[in-house]
């Protein structure tokens, strides 16, 4: 199967690398920058070019340029009936279809940063005109960078952006906060980083393997009058959980605003 990428940024490179690793795909990346093309060809062993070659209905086209650059990037693209996957945040299927001359054979995807190491999760939504075989193809491609979750309503793509698409940024924020607290308690930088990473990694793996509700696992660390209770009581007083919810809501609202801007053009 031929998979063509329009754009060679980090997510495009991650998906391309996953497909090369799986085997069975002929990967081609079109990117304007000569230096980046040279690097991608060397690192991934894929075909590269400045512009897309002619496409056919048996091909897959992955749109991987920034949302604000998408209209200009698609101006000279002739899909040839190819299945189109978009990894661009905020661009609806209607908007993408308008950029691509009316094609509706489109699947929107919202991957996240851990896809770079094959541990991502991607929210996916297909246009009504997209058949089951195309959905399966899209699913297989995105599983090259992790898990997939299919949505029944395109509007849910905004919520996926708020939870998993941007969620790794929230985790890095919390990692940094715990590391800073460790430094404040007298640990050196290496110790603080090791303690922080191992704590997060161990907790996530335990939660995954146990299958227990997160709230129950939280209770298992707590004992009446103990140390964890004191910390969590401060978090409650500072409304940490509520702040996280508000942050997610703000992210979702921003995604909706960006989408509306492109649709209004």
Span 126-160, pLDDT tens digits: 988 899 999 999 999 999 999 999 999 999 999 99
Q: How many domains does the chain have?
A: 2
pLDDT at 111: 96
Of 143, 104, 108, 140, nearest to 124 (Cα)?
A: 108
Among residues 104, 123, 152, which one ends one of the domains?
152
Banded pLDDT at 124 (limits 50, 70, 90): very high
Residues 6+ away with beta carbon under 8 Å from 120: 14, 111, 112, 113, 114, 145, 146, 147
H helical segments located in 33-92: 34-44, 67-74
Contact 172, 178 (CB under 8 A): no
Supply 61's token pair.
């086209």
Same domain, 102 and 68: yes
Contact 30, 48 (CB under 8 A): yes
| pLDDT per position as a tens digit, 16-42 | 999 999 999 999 999 999 999 999 999
Provide mean pLDDT across the span 111-125: 96
Distances (CA, A) of 118 to 15, 87, 144, 218: 9, 16, 7, 28
pTM metric for this prediction: 0.91
| pLDDT per position as a tens digit, 235-260 | 999 999 999 999 999 999 999 998 99
| pLDDT per position as a tens digit, 54-109 | 999 999 999 999 999 999 999 989 999 999 999 999 899 999 999 999 999 999 99
Same domain, 16 and 95: yes
Q: What is the CATH number of the domain that holds 193?
A: 1.10.3730.10
Confidence check: pLDDT of 262 > 90: no
Same domain, 148 and 180: no
Among residues 128, 152, 176, which one ends one of the domains?
152
pLDDT averaged over the chain? 95
Confidence check: pLDDT of 265 > 70: no
Confidence check: pLDDT of 187 > 90: yes
Of 100, 147, 157, 102, nearest to 126 (Cα)?
A: 157
Provide mean pLDDT across the span 222-227: 92
- Whole domain around residue 17: which residue ranges? 2-152
- Please check whether residue 159 lies inside any domain of the structure: no
- Please check whether residue 265 lies inside any domain of the structure: no
Same domain, 175 and 143: no
């Amino acid at each position: 199967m031929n998979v063509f990428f329009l754009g060679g940024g980090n997510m495009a490179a991650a998906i391309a690398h996953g497909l090369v690793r799986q085997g069975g795909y002929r990967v081609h990346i079109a990117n304007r920058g000569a230096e980046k093309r040279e690097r991608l060809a060397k690192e991934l062993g894929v075909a590269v070019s400045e512009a897309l070659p002619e496409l056919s209905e048996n091909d897959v086209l992955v749109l991987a340029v920034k949302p604000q650059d998408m209209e200009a990037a698609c101006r000279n693209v002739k899909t040839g009936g190819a299945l189109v996957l978009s990894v661009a945040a905020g661009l609806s299927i209607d908007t993408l279809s308008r950029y691509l001359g009316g094609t509706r054979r489109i699947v929107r995807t919202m991957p996240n940063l851990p896809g770079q190491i094959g541990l991502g999760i991607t929210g996916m939504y297909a246009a009504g005109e997209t058949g089951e075989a195309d959905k399966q193809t899209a699913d297989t491609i995105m599983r090259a960078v992790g898990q997939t979750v299919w949505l029944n309503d395109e509007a849910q793509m905004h919520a996926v952006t708020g939870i998993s698409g941007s969620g790794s940024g929230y985790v890095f924020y919390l990692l940094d906060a715990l590391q800073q607290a460790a430094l404040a308690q007298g640990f050196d930088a290496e110790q603080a980083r090791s303690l922080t990473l191992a704590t997060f990694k161990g907790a996530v793996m335990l939660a995954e393997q146990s299958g227990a509700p997160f709230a129950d696992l939280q209770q298992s660390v707590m004992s009446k009058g103990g140390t964890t209770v004191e910390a969590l009581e401060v978090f409650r007083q500072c409304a940490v959980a509520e702040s996280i919810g508000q942050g997610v809501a703000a992210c979702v609202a921003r995604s909706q605003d960006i989408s509306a801007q492109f649709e209004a053009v």
